[in-house]
Amino acid sequence: MALRLLPHVFVRLGELRHAEWEELDLANAEWRIPPHKTKMRRAHFVPLSRQALEIIGTIEHDGSFSRYLFPSLRSVDRPMSENTISAALRHLGYAQDEMTGHGFRAMASSLLNEMKLWHPDAIWRSAWMDRQELSDALWERIEPYLPGKASDPGRTGRDNRLFVEAVLWLARSGAHWRVLPKEFGRWHTVYQRFNRWCRSGVWENLFKALSDNADFEYILVDSTIVRAHQHSAGAPKKVIDPKIGLKLTRWDAPRAG
């Protein structure tokens, strides 16, 4: 049941696992996730579609049995295991490199952005896909691999973290450089810096250093997060505005056209 609901709400797996009956306002078709359960420690309101309400309506217990929508099989006082969704996907025949529970959020972002009916910011906010992807622990791991440290010659990179956040936002939203949110800085400045890091091999060194670490699932961009452009599948090429258009090879700098 949880797996059926996930594509309709595309919340984080931890938020789904810990969903409680008291958080649901079925009359107003809304799920309020309290601050202590969200990554950014702020309340998040999830609208519930007709289909989502129907799925919730088929759950065969209520709050008198367990406070959780999806309790553990071993104890009604605990939420279901963090491996339950993954096990269900494997049972359905999806390999680990084909689909994951987190993949529903990435898939929703890709599909909604491809439809071009909504601004990327609206899509990002609707699923609470935070612009700040890096936790303090993750940043401490990647910071030594980046230029601009106090021990490096030249200027220090005081805003390295903000810059990396900007690149992650662009990669995960699939948005063009020009719609980069203003809090990340001027889009063209970010673009030029990204270009320099590509040419100097910063990204390649970073990815090589972290590629074997499973804790960096949300930083390493793969095909479950960003879809290939239609040109890579052999579709006819169209004229692209050189100020906006972008094509990337794996480690190359961006090229317009």
Residue 14 has which token pair?
């931890």
Instruction: State whether 120 and 217 are in the same domain.
Output: yes
Domain span including residue 33: 2-91
Q: What residues does 33 pair with on adjacent strands? A: 44
Instruction: State whether 49 and 157 are in the same domain.
Output: no
**Could you report the per-residue pLDDT of 131-167, keeping only the tens digit for each?**
556 666 778 888 888 887 666 665 656 688 888 888 8
Instruction: State whether 71 and 154 are in the same domain.
Output: no
Q: Which pLDDT belongs to residue 35?
A: 87
Instruction: State whether 44 and 20 are in the same domain.
Output: yes
Whether 220 is covered by a domain: the verdict is yes
Instruction: State whether 112 and 24 are in the same domain.
Output: no
| Ordered DSSP codes for 61-77 | --TTT-SBSSB-SS-TT
Q: In this structure, are residues 43 and 32 in contact, taking their beta carbons and an 8 Å threshold?
A: yes
Q: Which pLDDT belongs to residue 228?
A: 41
Task: Give the Cα-Cα-Cα angle 222, 254, 240 (nearest 5 degrees).
Answer: 100
Instruction: State whether 80 and 114 are in the same domain.
Output: no
Instruction: State whether 109 and 82 are in the same domain.
Output: no
Contacts 24+ apart (CB under 8 A), 75-82: 79/17, 79/18, 79/19, 80/2, 80/17, 82/13, 82/14, 82/17
Whether 153 is covered by a domain: the verdict is yes
Token pair 């553990």 in the structure block, residue: 72
Residue 132 has which token pair?
């700040």
Longest dimension (CA), the chain: 64
Instruction: State whether 57 and 109 are in the same domain.
Output: no
**Could you report the per-residue pLDDT of 99-138, keeping only the tens digit for each?**
888 788 778 877 887 888 877 667 766 665 555 566 667 7
Q: Which pLDDT belongs to residue 91?
A: 92
> Which portions of the chain are predicted below pLDDT 70?
40, 120-121, 124-136, 149-158, 172-173, 211-257
For residues 114 and 112, what is the distance between their CA atoms, to the nearest angstrom? 5
Instruction: State whether 118 and 83 are in the same domain.
Output: no
Beta sheet of 30-33, edge-to-edge order? 24-25, 30-33, 44-47
Instruction: State whether 121 and 42 are in the same domain.
Output: no
Residue 118 has which token pair?
């909504």
Q: What residues does 247 pair with on adjacent strands? A: 255
Tell me the average pLDDT of the chain.
Answer: 77
Q: Which pLDDT belongs to residue 3?
A: 93
Q: Which pLDDT belongs to residue 185?
A: 85
Instruction: State whether 77 and 132 are in the same domain.
Output: no
- What residues contact 95, with CB distance under 8 A and at least 6 apart? none
